[in-house]
Structure 1
Amino acid sequence: MAQFRYVGRDAKGKPRKGKMISSSKREAIVDLRGKGIAVSEIHEIQETLLNKEITIGNPVKLQDFVIYLRQFSTLLLAGVTVVEATKILASQTQSKALKKALFQVEEDLRSGKPLSEAAQKHKKIFPPMFIHLVQAGEISGNLEEVLDRLAVYFEKQHYSIQKIKSALTYPIVILFVAMGAVAFLLTNVVPTFATMFEGFGAELPKITQFVLGVSAWMQTFWWSLFLLPIALVSSYILLNKKSYSKYYLDYVILKLPIFGKLLQKATIARIMRTLSSLFKSSVPILQALIIVEKVSGNEVIAKVLRESRASLERGQPLSDPMRNHWIFPPIVTQMVAIGEKSGSLDLMLAKVADFYDKEVESATDALKSLIEPLMIVLLAAIVGVIVLAIMVPMFEVFNHVQ
């Protein structure tokens, strides 16, 4: 795949220019003509360090991936071949990373490779869940159904992530605004009163001494306010890379008041839905547990899943290790045990996932309504302490003069 820069005119004669990814210059011109653009100039862009795209985290947005899955499933149901569907979606998707990967997948498909094998070369674009379910769909011959199931799965995952983000974004924004307001008061307002207090010639109240001390420190070490968030984020990234430290970090996060419970419910919903989707697609249970370990995103839960896999290998129930760990509430282990005994494990897991999705939704709504008054009270208390520290010595001077 190569990137091209083009110049041309559309059907109305308006000038058009831009960039696009295509397998060749000829293919790029054909694709542009299909969009109604008459090309007057086109040339390949040589990738350098300056124009190379740098991506942090997942290069494809979950929303773009869901749209791709929905469209892919629809095209296959309409009788379009996998190769042609991939070509159409590669030209239509808005995600540059996904577009580039799909063009390369199309080349592999035309050379005779199955979709699962072609997608496996792009692990940053296609998650393990996608690769294994597509492989199962290819074997069973129901790839359209599998893609539709994947779209539903990622849609629900996207919705849950958005709910949690919206619940966490508000308090974080308010916290930064509060910190900015307090920093302004301590560095600009309080120092003007500090010079006035020096002429009082009397010992200042403890609260005033404390606020003046914090103000003096802020004026000298104001830069630490910027370094502290950077240091915290860097420490989190470094600790998250090591498996032994990630376990304790995840443990601490899950034990956080309010937020820990919310993240626990969201993670349980995700892994239960993942397991259910894998079982429905006839992925072997041991292989399914390995996949879920990788997508869990939490080392505490991943450890329990490893123990559950070992329990199955010994011929024991899947639910035993879950029952003995605090991370899984009784309702989860009971539903899993019932599913194992009745042979309807995929259905039971889906019901657990639905239950916890609703729990996450109600918890985030409750959190939003609770956070606002708490943050207002906190900000009022901090500002109140600063105002009190300034007013108390002034009242004392006023009383002394009278």
Structure 2
Amino acid sequence: MAFNLDNIPKNQNSKNAPVASLESILKKEITFFNKPFSNKKKEAFYTELSVLLNAGITLKNALTLIGEEQRKNVDKVLIENIIKNIVVGKSLSEALRLARVFTEYEYYSLKIGEETGSLQKVTAELGLFYRRKNEQRRNILNALSYPIIVMITALFAVIFMLQFVVPMFVGIFKQNRVDLPWLTKVIVAASEGFQHNFGSIVFLVITLFVLRFFIAKKIWYKKYASILLLKIPYIGELTRKIYIAQFTQATALLVGAKVPLLSCIQLTKKMIDFYPLQHALSTIEKDIIKGKELSESLANYPIFDRKMISLLKVAEQTNQNEYIFERLTRQYNEDIQHQSKLLSTVLEPLIIVFLGALVGVILIAMYLPMFKLSTVIG
């Protein structure tokens, strides 16, 4: 029988859930105030806890050892509070839930592990889950860090030229009454427009950032932002695979713990904050209640691969759901790693060529009248 999740209070960690955009995939764990127990820390926490429990160490002593390793005082206090709750009789899952920095997915996974006597296995799987999640994030950061730095540097160079260099040339042209080519007129018009509206542009950018902060949780924003993101060539497909990989990995862990399929869908839907996937899982949840097969329901949504649906159909017939979900997870993670490297390889030269051409056009536009001016002076 499936768990009843309708009355579960929302985890406070969901307040910091990412917006469906590529920036959110890159910056998900980066906060400047009250930094939560990050995915990197969770990977180390569950991995070490699994090793210690497998070594025969009691849960309290294992948590004590982990707490002593923490460098930051806030993390030490977090582990100490978990230990105190366990000492007064609460389970590990309940203690983590009270800490308010762990997800419902972790809570139910650990609860199932405690009830079935497989806590060591569940903690190991959670460590693996966060390790793969962190690897996905590192791959994207490695792929985009250099192109982003180059783009920002070039953007400031173009702004500097429009704000200071072009006006200097314009003053020379006006003094000598030089007829300007059409290309120069376009650049001069862009420079003048930029200077006159510089304050408005800065205000608009700041307003957009502040506005997005307030509307980030709105359903309509998540919907249209995710649709726009998925339509971006290559990046949209990479983003889709990242979230599908999280779905297959989370489902594999729950299916391996003998959680009913309906509960798996409910938990993963609450965990993965990506509108197209959440919307699809909401309908799939209703289909499963009506008696439909998972593969049949997935086929109605383009976010799921046809190959994935075919494999799940076979898994349902052979009762190999856990194996298929684990295989799909490995496949998606390999694809993500490959596409991330390819993205970096493709983006770097494209950005350099584009920005180099942009700076070159500005310089050519400024020097064309200089040739006329030298001819007149000669």
Which gives a bigger RCO, structure 1 or 2 (Cα 8 Å, sep 6+)?
2
The equivalent of 2:305 in structure 1 is 329
Secondary structure at the aligned position of 2:176 is classed as coil
Secondary structure at the aligned position of 1:121 is classed as helix
AA in 1 matched with 2:284:
S
AA in 1 matched with 2:319:
G
Partner Cα separation in structure 2 for residue 367 and residue 228 of structure 1 = 30
Residue 202 of structure 1 deviates from its aligned partner by 4.4
Partner Cα separation in structure 2 for residue 192 and residue 186 of structure 1 = 10
- For the pair shown, the structure with the greater C-alpha radius of gyration is 1
Contact 1:276 1:349 in 2 (8 A): yes
Residue 69 of structure 1 deviates from its aligned partner by 1.1
Q: 1:56 to 1:254 in 2, by over 3 A?
A: farther
AA in 1 matched with 2:62:
A
Contact 1:308 1:320 in 2 (8 A): no
Q: Cα deviations across residues 21-69 of structure 1 (Å, max 9, x unaligned)? A: xxxxxxxxxxxxxxxxxxxxxxxxxxxxxxxxx9658612222211111
The equivalent of 1:233 in structure 2 is 209
Contact 2:179 2:369 in 1 (8 A): no
AA in 2 matched with 1:100:
V
The equivalent of 2:26 in structure 1 is none
Residue 343 of structure 1 deviates from its aligned partner by 0.7
Residue 77 of structure 1 deviates from its aligned partner by 1.6
Residue 295 of structure 1 deviates from its aligned partner by 1.9
Contact 2:178 2:372 in 1 (8 A): no
The equivalent of 1:152 in structure 2 is 128
1:174-185 residue pairs with structure 2 within 5 A? 174-185=150-161
Partner Cα separation in structure 2 for residue 105 and residue 161 of structure 1 = 28
Question: Please, which moves more after superposition, 170-179 or 153-162?
Answer: 170-179
AA in 1 matched with 2:55:
A
Question: Please, which moves more after superposition, 224-233 or 379-388?
Answer: 224-233
TM-score (norm 2): 0.86
Q: Does 1:64 align with 2:41?
A: yes
The equivalent of 2:247 in structure 1 is 271
The equivalent of 1:162 in structure 2 is 138
1:233-382 residue pairs with structure 2 within 5 A? 233-382=209-358
Partner Cα separation in structure 1 for residue 146 and residue 68 of structure 2 = 37
Secondary structure at the aligned position of 2:99 is classed as coil
The equivalent of 1:76 in structure 2 is 53
Compute the RMSD of aligned alpha carbons: 2.0
Q: Does 1:94 align with 2:94?
A: no
Q: Whose strand fraction is larger, Structure 1's or Structure 2's?
A: 1
Question: Please, which moves more after superposition, 231-240 or 166-175?
Answer: 231-240
Partner Cα separation in structure 2 for residue 88 and residue 152 of structure 1 = 20
Residue 385 of structure 1 deviates from its aligned partner by 1.2
Partner Cα separation in structure 1 for residue 35 and residue 262 of structure 2 = 27
Segments of 5+ residues of structure 2 without an aligned counterpart are 1-30
TM-score (norm 1): 0.82
Residue 199 of structure 1 deviates from its aligned partner by 2.1
Q: 1:228 to 1:174 in 2, by over 3 A?
A: farther
Q: Cα deviations across residues 223-278 of structure 1 (Å, max 9, x unaligned)? A: 45544543343343333211232122111111112211110111111111110111
Q: Whose helix fraction is larger, Structure 1's or Structure 2's?
A: 2
Q: 1:101 to 1:57 in 2, by over 3 A?
A: closer
Contact 1:90 1:103 in 2 (8 A): yes
1:92-171 residue pairs with structure 2 within 5 A? 92-123=69-100, 125-171=101-147
The equivalent of 1:384 in structure 2 is 360
Partner Cα separation in structure 1 for residue 264 and residue 34 of structure 2 = 24
Question: Please, which moves more after superposition, 76-85 or 305-314?
Answer: 76-85
Q: 1:229 to 1:364 in 2, by over 3 A?
A: farther
Secondary structure at the aligned position of 1:311 is classed as helix
Question: Please, which moves more after superposition, 215-224 or 126-135?
Answer: 215-224
AA in 2 matched with 1:325:
Y
Segments of 5+ residues of structure 1 without an aligned counterpart are 1-53
Partner Cα separation in structure 1 for residue 35 and residue 222 of structure 2 = 20
Number of residue pairs matched? 348
Question: Please, which moves more after superposition, 243-252 or 149-158?
Answer: 243-252
